[in-house]
Amino acid sequence: MSEPAPGGEAWDRVSTILRRSVPRQQFETWFRGMRLVSLGPERAELTVPNNFLREWIHRKYFGVLRRALREVSAGDPEIEIRIAADGPEPAEAAAAAPAGRPAPPGRPAPLGGHPLEPRALTYGESDVVLNSLYNFENFVPGPSNNFGYAASLAVADSPGKSYNPLFLHGSVGLGKTHLLQAICHRLMDRRPDMRILYLSCETFTNHFVTAVANGELDSFRFRYRHVDVLLIDDIHFLANRERTQEEFFHTFNTLYNANKQIILSSDSNPAEIPTLEERLVSRFKWGIVARIDQPVYETRVAIIARKVRMHGVEFPDEVVRCLAENVRSNIRELEGAVNKVAGMAHIYSRPVDMDMARETLRDLIPPSSVRVSIDGIIRTVAEYYSVPVRDLMGKRRTKSIAYPRQICMFLARRLTSHSLEEIGGYFGGRDHTTVMYAYDKIRREVEQDGELSRTLELLKSKITT
Ligand code: ADP
Ligand code: MG
């Protein structure tokens, strides 16, 4: 049979079949720029904007494409995919992206720009789907992460120009992935011209291993070395992988020398990643190395407040404080605790209170010792500091009384389930802000003062026996 009607309706039918056969995102990434020039039972002619797409379609999608073309043409056409006349050739593509400069507008960016959706990170190959909540707006800065946060913002605002590479490290659950993705979001919003590649080190490693096994190193290199921003999460995964390290070394050099931004995260600082080659260690330190620490109490409170708002539930202050006190080292866990409590509130259509939080988070929150009475606390503290009970319960403000009284309030808050108002009532009818103030003051002191912490332990053990 001779040439049938090209493009138009035939392509609509082919693309409908393709859409059914591959996930939407993949269709958008790989087939959006494809054109059907002609289609008959013996021959199909298509174009794509660049060689990279052609190669990839040949490798990954040839089967689905062939099935679709067969179905629509009612034959078994020989398939030819050409580069569209207005698309750049690869050699040109490489040259068309000089250091740090975006591709000229109105013209397809080489490799991965138009016609790919800007959101199709990494040409659809990344293993990571960006979490839309991991943006800068949702990140709570504090003393523990300020440096990494500020550096991430700077890099997102002027990639390749401020700090290169940016190396974020810290233990698990402290916000490294969140910051990396926040950089991606911001770049995608503000610099749609840029080619951003964000992936885990594990994926990089797997791609590399596969490329070696299939003799496809050229296309692997082409892919990784033609980006404007490369973000690799959990780079410590390179430990003990000599060949991948070697490959990454060259990727790094190529990008770095072209002023392309490199951003890495790791669970430890470069020098402490076991078996990491010295030349990589030193390169990782060329730019900025920012450590993320465990958040301090105030940051934990702010993070909880932020997560609570997202759930549209109210948490009483005492629940927020209780969570902040008991979950210290991992923000993911903190978030998990908030989710559980908010989940309970939704399921039972009940407002959140301390009992519900305790019940839901039995493994995180130590049980309150209901048997402890405030009277018991006052007697024990009075004896320890040699002050009269009635002074502790009265109005006197001299330091020798005020301090033990604050200790009493602190312990009452920690060891009983009385409300702030109730506690205030025991101490000369003071109001809840006074109790709160005392509580916060002692809590801060305990964190810094080992002696005080031992004293409190001693008092607690006297009170509870
Ligand atoms: P990491 O990659 O360091 O293991 P993540 O980035 O996955 O940690 O963070 C764990 C969770 O904690 C995520 O849900 C993240 O949104 C949240 N998180 C971490 N740090 C913050 C922060 N400063 N503000 C708000 N949420 C945070
Ligand atoms: Mg992570």
Tell me the pLDDT tens digit for each residue of 239-261: 999 999 999 999 999 999 999 99
Provide φ and ψ at 442, rounded to 5°: -65, -40
Does residue 97 register a pLDDT over 80? Answer: no
Residues in CB range of 112: below 8 A, 6 or more apart:
52, 120, 122, 123, 195, 226, 227
Measuring from atom 6 of ligand 1, which residue has the nearest CA? Answer: 175
Helix, strand, or coil here: 159? coil
Q: Is the CB of 357 under 6 A from ligand 1?
A: no
Interval 205-229 mean pLDDT: 90
- Alpha carbons within 13 angstroms on the beta-carbon side of residue 282 total 4
Helix, strand, or coil here: 131? coil
Nearest atom within ligand 1 for CA of residue 178: 6
Cα separation of 228 and 460, whole Å?
59
Reference 415, options 366, 362, 379, 361; nearest CA is: 366
Reference 206, options 247, 155, 178; nearest CA is: 247
Interval 24-51 mean pLDDT: 85
Helix, strand, or coil here: 261? strand
pLDDT of residue 2: 43
pLDDT of residue 359: 87
Give DSSP secondary structure letters for 168-215: EE-STTSSHHHHHHHHHHHHHHH-TTS-EEEEEHHHHHHHHHHHHHTT
416 C-beta neighbours (distance < 10 Å), count: 20
Peptide bond connecting 105 to the previous residue in cis, omega within 30 degrees of 0: no
Going from the Cα of 266 to the center of ligand 2, the distance in angstroms, rounded, reads 8
Going from the Cα of 176 to the center of ligand 1, the distance in angstroms, rounded, reads 7
Interval 348-365 mean pLDDT: 88
Contacts 24+ apart (CB under 8 A), 214-217: 216/59
Measuring from atom 11 of ligand 1, which residue has the nearest CA? Answer: 332
Cα separation of 317 and 313, whole Å?
13
**6-30: pLDDT as tens digits:** 558 899 999 999 998 888 777 877 8
Nearest ligand to the C-alpha of residue 335?
1
Interval 54-73 mean pLDDT: 86
Q: Is the CB of 144 under 6 A from ligand 1?
A: no
Q: Is the CB of 174 under 6 A from ligand 1?
A: yes
Nearest atom within ligand 1 for CA of residue 139: 24
What percent of the chain clears pLDDT 90, i.e. is strictly above it? 57
Residues in CB range of 339: below 8 A, 6 or more apart:
307, 311
Going from the Cα of 128 to the center of ligand 2, the distance in angstroms, rounded, reads 11
Going from the Cα of 67 to the center of ligand 2, the distance in angstroms, rounded, reads 40
Edge-to-edge strand ranges of the sheet holding 229-233: 196-200, 229-233, 261-266, 166-169, 288-291
Going from the Cα of 200 to the center of ligand 2, the distance in angstroms, rounded, reads 9
CB of 83 closer than 8 Å to CB of 47 = yes
Report which of residues 210 and 50 the model is more confident about: 210
Nearest atom within ligand 1 for CA of residue 134: 16
Nearest atom within ligand 1 for CA of residue 145: 23
CB of 227 closer than 8 Å to CB of 128 = no
Range with the lowest mean pLDDT among 104-108, 310-314, 355-359, 393-397?
Answer: 104-108
Rg of the chain taking only CA atoms, in angstroms: 31
Q: Is the CB of 303 under 6 A from ligand 1?
A: yes
**324-333: pLDDT as tens digits:** 988 888 999 9
Interval 36-55 mean pLDDT: 86
260 C-beta neighbours (distance < 10 Å), count: 25
pTM above 0.85, yes or no: no
Nearest atom within ligand 1 for CA of residue 179: 6
Provide φ and ψ at 382, rounded to 5°: -60, -45
Cα separation of 384 and 193, whole Å?
69
What rounded mean pLDDT belongs to the chain? 85
- Alpha carbons within 13 angstroms on the beta-carbon side of residue 91 total 0
Q: Is the CB of 331 under 6 A from ligand 1?
A: yes
Helices (H) and strands (E) in the chain, counts: 21, 8
pLDDT interval class at 90 (50, 70, 90)? very low
Does residue 51 register a pLDDT over 80? Answer: no
Pocket probe for ligand 1: among 178, 268, 291, the residue whose CB has the most ligand atoms within 8 Å is 178
pLDDT of residue 107: 30
Residues in CB range of 179: below 8 A, 6 or more apart:
139, 148, 149, 152, 168, 265
pLDDT of residue 369: 44
Does residue 399 register a pLDDT over 70? Answer: yes
One-letter amino acid of 310? M
Tokens of 341: 């409590």
Q: Is the CB of 177 under 6 A from ligand 1?
A: yes
Going from the Cα of 303 to the center of ligand 1, the distance in angstroms, rounded, reads 10
**112-132: pLDDT as tens digits:** 332 223 333 443 345 457 888
Going from the Cα of 171 to the center of ligand 2, the distance in angstroms, rounded, reads 9
Does residue 336 register a pLDDT over 90? Answer: yes
Q: Is the CB of 56 under 6 A from ligand 1?
A: no
Nearest atom within ligand 1 for CA of residue 142: 23
Nearest atom within ligand 1 for CA of residue 140: 24
